[in-house]
Amino acid sequence: MKIFVMSLKRSTDRRNRITTTLGDANIKFEFFDAIDASTPNFKYSNKRAPDQTLLRFGYALIESELACFASHYSLWQKCVALNEPILVFEDNCDLTELFQETQPLFDQLINKYHFIKLFSMFKKRYSTIEEINSTSEIVYYHERTCGLQSYLISPHAAKQFIKNANQFIDPVDNYMEKPWRHGISTYSFKPDLVTRAKIKSTIGSNRKIKAKLSIWHKAIIEIFRAYEEIRYKIKNLLIIIESNKR
C-alpha cells in the first residue's frame, strides 16, 4: 500500500519533522504537494460555492479551507488512478505505539470498510463494528469526529467522494463524514493509531459570521442543522442494526 504525506511544498520545517517521525518507524512514503491557498486561482478554486455555504451554515469557507478540500480531492484522484487503496497522512501527525502493530491489517480492513480514520479528534458515543486484535477495534462514531490527520481510503470511496463533490460547500472533513452525500460511511480505529502533533495549523478557523445574519437566515440554518441531525440518526440506526448482525 502506497503512503502519501500531504504537505505544502514550502513547509520545509513540517516536512523535515514528519520525515524524521516516519523515518524512525521505517515507514516509506511519498510527499503529495498540497494545493497552496496563497496561489491566485489555485486548482479547483472554481468549485467554491460561497452562497450555498452561507445559506446552509452562516459562514464562508476561507481560502485555506478551500485549498485543503482541493488537496484531498486531488489525492482521491491519485487513489483512483492507482486503482489501489492508499494511506494518507497530513504533515502534523505523530504515531502511537499501536500503529505498527496494526499496520499489517490495513490491506484487509480497507477492502472491507473503504474509509477508515486513524485519528478522531472528537470522540463521543460509538458502536463497535469489529475487534481486530487484542488492543484495537473498528468503530463507528455516531457524530462527526472532525480532522483528517490520517486515513485509509479505497478507490471505491475515492470515486464516490469525487463524484459528489461538484462544489466545495462544507469543510472537507465535514463532507467526508456525511454518508448521505456520497454513500461512504466513516469508520475509525479505536484507540487512535496516530495523534495530532502540537504544531500550528496551516488552515486557521477565523470565519464564522453568524452574528450578522438575519433572524430568517438563522432559522434556515437551524432547519438545515435539524435535517442533518435526522440524517445522522437514520444512519446511526442502520449501522447499529448492521453491526448487531455480525
- 123-160 per-position pLDDT tens digit: 888 989 999 998 999 999 988 999 999 999 999 999 99
**Burial class of residue 213 (count of CB atoms within 10 Å of its CB; 0-12, 13-18, 19+):** middle
Please state the rounded mean pLDDT for residues 169-182: 95
Say if residue 105's pLDDT is above 90: yes
Say if residue 78's pLDDT is above 70: yes
Rounded CA gap, 129 and 184, in Å?
15
Structural domain boundaries, residue 215? 2-245
Describe the crossing of helices 50-57 and 215-245 by its angle, rounded to 10 degrees: 80
Rounded CA gap, 47 and 15, in Å?
28
Contacts of 246 (CB under 8 A, 6+ apart): 129, 130
* Cis-peptide into 104, omega within 30 deg: no
Say if residue 117's pLDDT is above 80: yes
**Burial class of residue 133 (count of CB atoms within 10 Å of its CB; 0-12, 13-18, 19+):** exposed
How many structural domains comprise the chain?
1
CATH number at residue 213: 3.90.550
Are 150 and 100 in contact by the 8 Å Cβ rule? The answer is: no
Residue 151, pLDDT score: 98
Q: 243: pLDDT confidence band, cut at 50, 70 and 90?
A: low
Q: 242: pLDDT confidence band, cut at 50, 70 and 90?
A: confident
The model carries a pTM of 0.92
pLDDT digits (tens, 9 = 90+) for 204-241: 556 556 658 889 999 999 999 999 999 988 887 887 77
